[in-house]
Amino acid sequence: MNYLIAISVPLLWGSTYAAVGLYLQGMSPFWVAVWRALPAGLLLLALRPRMPPLPWAKMLLLSFFNITAFFLLLFAAAYRLPGAVAGTLGATLPLQVLLLMWLIEGKRPSLVAISSALVGLMGIVLLLNPSADIDPLGAAAALIATSFMAVSSLWIKKWPVTDLLSLTAWQLLLGGLMLLPFAYLIAGMPAMVIGESLPGLLWLILPNTAFAYWAFSRSIKVLGAETMAMLAMLNPMAAVLLGVGLLHEMLGVAQWGGIALIIGALLLMRLTARPAMLQPSSLRPLNQPRAENI
């Protein structure tokens, strides 16, 4: 069950491309980011109306890195780079997490872990076939966005938070509020949401963001940041396969080979992973009151 929840995260995030392509083509991506984060945070806060589970300084820092800055840099990269290049640079997440764990926590990555990350990265390169024409600023934005997600993952793993629903709610709420001025300065006033856009927005708000960000935080606690970083390679694979199924795109032999390499890398990771499981108290039912103050 833990791996099913974890795998659902990149699969849901990989559906973003198809949702935008089918329903949200006329909307500014910066306002889509706001509508994706802010309502999801409000919804989760309504389900668990509590104060943040972290001190305000840590809560704001995590929200800014994992939501506000990540979304802004991701869209900046999308504007300056072909999607294939941005996706390939994002696939450096496992290597960045391993490097940060080595530098910050002193955990030297194993040869198997590095090999899995490199094989998966090769699979992403084959799958997306990135162009050689790379804009330096766009590439920097994509790499920094990936670094912010890597740092945020390690914070979520390290900081003593057990109320992950509350953590997710405040993270999305604060991140969405901090996105508002950037969206207004970059894209102006938001366009009116029309009925045809509602299915795409509801998909992004509910499963793609509210559930997926909770599942992301939970899976980092249960399986570890390095495992979730490897599973993130399913994100571009899901996006490409949904493009085939919903947008009638075609895959070549090299792309199918890339998918095989990604799956092989994940199987190698799974066979050698040693998840650091949460204590039972960390996964208490939603209606059970907290016994500690964090």
125: tokens are 């390169």
What is the rounded CA–CA span in Å between residue 2 and residue 284?
15
Question: Quick one: which of 3, 72, 41 has its CA closest to 167?
Answer: 41
CB proximity list for 254: less than 8 A, separation 6 or greater:
126, 129
Looking at per-residue pLDDT, the higher value among 16 and 172 belongs to: 172
Which band of pLDDT confidence, cut at 50, 70 and 90, is reported for residue 184? very high
Q: Which two tokens stand for residue 2?
A: 């833990």
pTM, full prediction = 0.84
What DSSP designation does 290 have? P
Q: Is the pLDDT of residue 141 over 80?
A: yes
How high does pLDDT run on average in the chain?
85
Question: Would you give the end-to-end CA distance of the chain in angstroms?
Answer: 28
pLDDT at 130: 75
CA R_g for the chain: 18
Percent pLDDT > 90 in the chain is 46
Would residue 284 be called left, alpha or beta, if left means φ above 0 and alpha means ψ between -120 and 50 degrees? beta
Q: What is the distance between the alpha carbons of residues 49 and 42, in angstroms, rounded to a whole number? A: 9
Q: Tell me the per-residue pLDDT of 233-259, one tens digit each, with 9 for 90 and over.
A: 888 888 788 777 776 777 788 888 988
Q: What percent of the chain has pLDDT over 70?
A: 89
Q: Among residues 233, 252, 235, which one has the least CA distance to residue 244?
A: 252
For residue range 30-83, what is the model confidence (pLDDT) as tens digits?
898 999 999 999 999 999 999 999 999 999 999 999 999 998 988 888 777 776
Amino acid at residue number 143? L
- Output 274-281 pairs: Cβ under 8 A, ≥24 positions apart: 275/2, 275/222, 275/223, 275/224, 275/227, 276/223, 276/224, 277/222, 278/162, 278/221, 278/222, 281/162
Spans of all domains in the chain: 2-272
